[in-house]
Structures are given as C-alpha cells and as structure tokens.
C-alpha cells in the first residue's frame, strides 16, 4: 500500500501500544513517519529496522517544549512539510485523589497528557499555517465522561485535550488546518493493564462495552488511517467517540 506516499506524519508516543500501531500503519502505507519516544528505545529501534526508509526516530519528552522543538523542527526541515501530527503520548497514574501525598504525580499527568499535546501542536502549527493545510489528531479517553475510581487527574487532563481540540479547530479553520479528537474506550495496551487489576482487565472491563471486548491498537490505527485518507474534510472540531459503547 502506498496511499500515504509523500505524506509526512509525526506520531508521539509511537514506540508502544496505540502509537506504535499508528506509526506502523502509516509507514506501511508509504508515509514518512517521525516516531517520537522517550523511554522504549529498543522498541522504537525495532520498528525503524522494519521500515528503514519510512521511519525516523525522534527522542524527546513531549512535556518539554525546549526539547521537542528542535526535534520536530528538524524533521519538518528534512522532509519539507508536515501533513499530520498525531498527539498520542500519554500516561495514567491511578490514585485516589485525597490519598495522594502531594500533587507531583498529578502534575506529571497534566504535563504529559495536556501540556505535551499543546507543546507539539504549538511547534507544528507555523509549518501547517505556511502550507495552508494539515491535520492534528488528539487522543482522549472515555474517562472524560465515565471516569473510574482513581482517574480524577487523568480524566481532567483528557478533558482539557478535548477543549483544546475544539479551540484549535476554530482558530485555524481558515488556514485549512483540521483538528479532531478521538475519544477512546478501553484499549488493550500495557498502560491499561498497569492501571487496573488482572480481574478487571480480563473480565469486568470487556463487560462494560456493548461489543463485550476491548478495542485493539490496530483498530485505533485504522480510524486514524481513515482520517488521513478518507473523505473526512468535515471532521474538524469534532470529538469522535470510539468507546465501543463503554459505560460503568
């Protein structure tokens, strides 16, 4: 498949889980992918070895604007333009809010999930404005509307991402830049496993979806692929619900 040939795409948090599936899907379709990672270096290198002509590794912390800017700017300069940014990087630190000794872990969730999305968007917008085209896809969570116990900060960080999505879509619609948000239900990833018990992962969480199973990273990648290639010009400023009918 070469339907994305000539497209340049950055995927944050691209070495594992949902981000890895998105990066792999885009590279398989011929895109040049800037794969951002911070800790999972071996996993990122393995993906580059599979797609040596499609994947460039971008190691930086999305929550650090000073670190993210040169990495993103250099990728755009090398490739001439940026067609899409997929703000996927995120963390969850489940904890009862009043039981936290301090808010340091809360600050980290907000720094990565919310500020990280804002940082990367801020850095790519000048290039997209100049080209008068671009797509920004932000990843949110059903926790915004159906938070579980211990996810108060995570839910707040993702709610901010949803509001940010709408605002960016409004501000830059005249420049033909689209910004959409995918609100995902439980997806079978390491992050989800780390956030819930084995019993909840294997039995309770699938029971809370109308399809009676968890989503997979590959299914999320298919949704992103649709936004990149399909007749999705009207999908801007939208919070697209792909929660499998999740409810508590």
| 203 contacts 159 by C-beta, under 8 angstroms | no
Residues 47, 222: Cα–Cα separation, whole Å: 18
Residues 20, 196: Cα–Cα separation, whole Å: 22
Residues 86, 217: Cα–Cα separation, whole Å: 14
How long a stretch of residues is the chain? 248
| 37 tagged catalytic | no
Q: Residue 148 gets which letter from DSSP?
A: P
Strand ranges for 77-123 from DSSP E:
84-87
State how far Cα 76 lies from the chain centre.
19
Catalytic residue among 37, 154, 172, 246: 154
List 129's β-bridge partners, or say none.
none
Catalytically annotated residues: 154
């Amino acid at each position: 498949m070469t339907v994305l040939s000539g497209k340049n795409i950055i995927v944050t948090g691209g070495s594992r889980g949902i981000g890895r599936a998105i990066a792999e899907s885009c590279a398989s379709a011929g895109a040049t992918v800037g794969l951002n990672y911070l800790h999972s270096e071996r996993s990122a290198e393995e993906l580059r070895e599979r797609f040596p002509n499609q994947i460039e590794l971008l190691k930086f912390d999305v929550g650090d604007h000073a670190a993210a800017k040169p990495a993103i700017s250099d990728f755009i300069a090398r490739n001439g333009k940026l067609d899409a940014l997929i703000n996927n990087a995120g963390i969850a630190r489940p904890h009862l809010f009043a039981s936290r000794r301090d808010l340091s872990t809360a600050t980290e969730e907000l720094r990565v999930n919310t500020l990280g999305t804002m940082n990367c968007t801020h850095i790519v917008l000048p290039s997209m404005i100049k080209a008068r085209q671009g797509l920004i896809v932000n990843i949110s969570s059903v926790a915004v509307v159906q938070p579980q116990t211990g996810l108060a900060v995570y839910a707040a960080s993702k709610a901010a991402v949803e509001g940010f999505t709408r605002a960016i879509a409004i501000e830059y619609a005249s420049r033909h830049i689209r910004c959409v948000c995918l609100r995902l239900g439980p997806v079978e990833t390491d992050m989800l496993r780390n956030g819930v018990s084995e019993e909840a992962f294997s039995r309770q969480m699938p029971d809370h979806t109308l399809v009676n199973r968890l989503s997979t990273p590959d299914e999320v990648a298919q949704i992103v692929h649709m936004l990149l290639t399909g007749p999705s010009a009207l999908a801007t400023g939208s919070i697209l619900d792909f929660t499998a009918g999740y409810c508590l």
